[in-house]
Amino acid sequence: MSDASRGGDTGAGSGARPPGERDTARAAERLAARLPDELAPLARLAFDLSWSWEPGGAELFRSVDPLRWERVIHNPIRLLLETPISRLKAVARDRDLLQRFVALESRLAARRAEPLEAPGAGPSASRPVAFLCAEFGAHCSLPIYAGGLGLLAGDLLREAADRAFPMVGLGLYYREGYFRQRLDPSGRQHEYWIERHPELRPLALVTNGAGEELTVPVRIRDREVRLQVWRAELGRASLYLLDADRPENRIIDRWITTRLYDSDSEVRLAQYAALGIGGMRALAAMGIEPSVVHLNEGHAALASLELLREGVKAGISVDAAAKTVREKIVFTTHTPVAAGNEGYTAAELHNVLGHLPEELGLTPEELAGMGRIHPDDAHEPFRLTVLALRNGRASNGVSRIHGGVAREMWRGLWPDQPVDEVPIRHVTNGAHLPGWMAPPMRRLLARHLGEGFERRAADPATWEPVVGIPDEELWATRGALRRALVEFVRERTVEDRLRRGEPMAYVEEAARNFDPDVLTVGFARRLATYKRLHLLASDARRALGLLRGERPIQIVIAGKAHPRDEEAKGVLQRLFGLKREPTVGGRVAFLEDYDAVTASRLVSGCDVWLNLPRPPLEASGTSGMKSAFNGGLQLSVLDGWWAEAWNGDNGWAVAADPAPDEAARDARDAARVFDLLEGEVGTLFYERDAGGIPRGWVRRIKESLRSIGPRFCATRMLDDYARDVYPS
């Protein structure tokens, strides 16, 4: 790389501090300088995202200014900048509160000072795993995610931070992030975007040794685009985010990092060039030499071409260079849906990356062929998934079933192998337990499983004491979580309905009728058609019966439809067609603009978590794991992770048997869901003993925690990657 200067603040040799750490510390000092002196620890904490999953972390920041904390969407930087000085001075005089902040700050600082784990074979402190992903959901104050893929990436990085596993995250900083959702009274979805200034986020611009902003060039559309690098700190892990919003770039090029999954396919390809090519260059400029480059989904696959280019430039033949590239790259595929494995035409490839073939010593056709199953088929699009599968030494899907689906899907790349031997394996996803388990549940489990049980979560023995938790205590905790959700739903529905301009009687209907003692069912996820939200409304008579019955249920729904997915948008509108039916407005709540804040409320408060994908299209699913950590019970199709988790006693299953056609499958599965909700689920929840405890229900919660906790936490997931995938 010609001009990316190596920084004196950089150099990731063992024992060295992570590149950009000093920039983060300076950003914290600048923030502290604007606050009363006593609040310096708050400013430092604000820049280490690991406050957010430390016990008590969120409560501490909330206590600075509770209402503002919600308004700034749990962003401590904005909280400290926007809270009136009179209130900040009051906090500065509150010795007890300050003391607790100081204690938390020193806990996190001690953790950051720990040496990185040396896992043995494979990655090490000086040669970490570089984990590349188009989206990261590390915290809601950094809204650069769309859904499951980003949250999964964030969860893996948070897990790496917890155990000082040598991993750095690489992504893009999108100024407008993903779209925000509003519905109109007919249930029609509208999208809009808001600018999120990086200066108001827990981010610091990485500088080089000369104190200048570190930038790397990437050639896109035949122009050099300069990318700067933001660093987010997650304890011992760093997340580096590339950003094209620099004055020397033309407006059209600054746009590249504006919106996650931009609607224009050439802009998306430019984003993936920034991520893959820019990402590798940024690492080099910061002095990080990864031992493994983990492409999390195909978006980052152009990284392999940058590594290839380096080899060719060093004078190695393309074939020899390709071999060394392969040794470095591992790939995880997440999408069994064709649309998720996007393809580009030769013209698009040429328009965005026309200079690339020459740099690699290839013809344009040869380059295009690297992303095709049949390289010579000029009609086949260039797919990043294919490029990643071809250029990686290990590939995996994200559940046992999905591993099989992926082998079937991509078998054309290995035409001589039987499908079972197609080299795609699986690592089942997991969720970051400390990040998703609500504080009351965490306190309960810490009492019974022992302090620090989170770090031992992958060991089944850790969870054995769950059976001994007094039913009364577990039920009281569930009650508290349900009450908190009901409170949240009451407020949010009023707000959402007022914004939609609904009649006043309807505006307050859920606020009056949502009931902390009623069986609460949650359905929240991307509203892709295959997730089958429509099943809920497919039999209106039975659905209404459930809401109005002797053993009523209430339902909370949330999710965004892809802006161009008219079918999914139609499903939402048809669902809204039922809203004027008596009792519906008071027992069904659609929460607009599903995001990680809403998700954490829902997964902790719902008694039953519904998942109705059309098999085998659910690669894994992770929201159900989050629900299970909080004592929610799953009612789900046996697809993705649930096919591995269900044991007959820890929730309910809808069989994934074949059906003559999709309509028949939908009808059968909907009937099964209604049968369960009207029958066993409702009975078990409302069957109370003299003390008011539903013993059978509580027994199921315990079985769910015991069987799901150790197997679907991110600790187990990272264990699997560290043991089976990362060592070469």
Instruction: Return residues touching ligand PLP (CB under 6 A).
Output: 147-148, 151, 525, 595-596, 599, 621-624, 626
Cα-only R_g, the chain:
25
Burial (0-12, 13-18, 19+ Cβ within 10 Å), 106: exposed
Lookup: tokens for 364: 């344009």
Nearest distance from C-beta of residue 569 to ligand PLP, angstroms: 18
Nearest distance from C-beta of residue 370 to ligand PLP, angstroms: 30
Nearest distance from C-beta of residue 622 to ligand PLP, angstroms: 5
Q: What angle do CA 115, 118, 121 make, to 5 degrees?
A: 165
> Which residue number, 148 or 177, has a Cβ lying nearer to ligand PLP?
148
Length of the chain in residues, anyone?
A: 728
Lookup: tokens for 112: 């950051």
**Contact between 214 and 286 (Cβ < 8 Å):** yes
**Contact between 270 and 244 (Cβ < 8 Å):** no
> Which residue number, 326 or 432, has a Cβ lying nearer to ligand PLP?
432
Q: What angle do CA 294, 48, 236 make, to 5 degrees?
A: 45
Residue 635: beta bridge partners?
610, 652
**Contact between 552 and 516 (Cβ < 8 Å):** no
CA 69 to chain centre: 22
Nearest distance from C-beta of residue 139 to ligand PLP, angstroms: 11
One-letter amino acid for residue 400 of the chain: R
Residue 330: beta bridge partners?
294, 394
**Contact between 275 and 300 (Cβ < 8 Å):** yes
> Which residue number, 145 or 255, has a Cβ lying nearer to ligand PLP?
145
Nearest distance from C-beta of residue 307 to ligand PLP, angstroms: 31
> Which residue number, 466 or 524, has a Cβ lying nearer to ligand PLP?
524
Nearest distance from C-beta of residue 439 to ligand PLP, angstroms: 17
The residue among 534, 558, 530 whose CA lies nearest residue 618 is 530
DSSP state of 115: P
> Which residue number, 178 or 726, has a Cβ lying nearer to ligand PLP?
178
Cβ within 8 Å of residue 90, ≥6 positions away: none
> Which residue number, 148 or 187, has a Cβ lying nearer to ligand PLP?
148
One-letter amino acid for residue 108 of the chain: L
Cis, bond preceding 616 (omega within 30 deg of 0): yes
> Which residue number, 555 or 596, has a Cβ lying nearer to ligand PLP?
596
Helix (H, G, I), strand (E, B) or coil at 277: helix
Distance (Å, whole) CA 501 – CA 252 = 37
Extended strands (E) in 362-467: 382-383, 394-397, 424-426
Nearest distance from C-beta of residue 611 to ligand PLP, angstroms: 7
Nearest distance from C-beta of residue 633 to ligand PLP, angstroms: 15
> Which residue number, 119 or 143, has a Cβ lying nearer to ligand PLP?
143
**Contact between 571 and 534 (Cβ < 8 Å):** yes
Distance (Å, whole) CA 100 – CA 103 = 5
> Which residue number, 226 or 525, has a Cβ lying nearer to ligand PLP?
525
> Which residue number, 235 or 624, has a Cβ lying nearer to ligand PLP?
624
Token match 């893009």: residue?
172
What DSSP element (H or E) covers 633? strand 633-637
> Which residue number, 370 or 599, has a Cβ lying nearer to ligand PLP?
599
Nearest distance from C-beta of residue 32 to ligand PLP, angstroms: 32
> Which residue number, 293 or 591, has a Cβ lying nearer to ligand PLP?
591
Q: Using the Cα atoms of residue 108, residue 114, residue 120 and residue 122 in order, give the sign of their dihedral.
A: positive
Nearest distance from C-beta of residue 626 to ligand PLP, angstroms: 6
**Contact between 270 and 352 (Cβ < 8 Å):** yes
> Which residue number, 112 or 432, has a Cβ lying nearer to ligand PLP?
432
Nearest distance from C-beta of residue 430 to ligand PLP, angstroms: 11
Nearest distance from C-beta of residue 537 to ligand PLP, angstroms: 19
> Which residue number, 623 or 715, has a Cβ lying nearer to ligand PLP?
623
Nearest distance from C-beta of residue 635 to ligand PLP, angstroms: 13
The residue among 175, 232, 200, 199 whose CA lies nearest residue 78 is 200
> Which residue number, 206 or 528, has a Cβ lying nearer to ligand PLP?
528
Helix (H, G, I), strand (E, B) or coil at 272: helix
Nearest distance from C-beta of residue 628 to ligand PLP, angstroms: 11
Q: Are strands 588-591 and 608-611 parallel, antiparallel or unpaired?
A: unpaired
Nearest distance from C-beta of residue 228 to ligand PLP, angstroms: 28
Nearest distance from C-beta of residue 183 to ligand PLP, angstroms: 17
Kindly write down the DSSP assignment for every residue of 90-109, as one continuous string.
HHHH-HHHHHHHHHHHHHHH
> Which residue number, 304 or 623, has a Cβ lying nearer to ligand PLP?
623
The residue among 432, 442, 433, 431 whose CA lies nearest residue 55 is 442
> Which residue number, 147 or 298, has a Cβ lying nearer to ligand PLP?
147
Cβ within 8 Å of residue 599, ≥6 positions away: 151, 524, 558, 623, 626
Kindly write down the DSSP assignment for every residue of 442-466, as one continuous string.
HHHHHHHH-TTGGGGTTSHHHHGGG
**Contact between 229 and 206 (Cβ < 8 Å):** yes
Lookup: tokens for 300: 């980052």
> Which residue number, 189 or 622, has a Cβ lying nearer to ligand PLP?
622
Nearest distance from C-beta of residue 148 to ligand PLP, angstroms: 3
**Contact between 223 and 250 (Cβ < 8 Å):** yes
Lookup: tokens for 591: 């929460």
Nearest distance from C-beta of residue 598 to ligand PLP, angstroms: 7
HSE-CB of 408 using CA atoms within 13 angstroms? 11
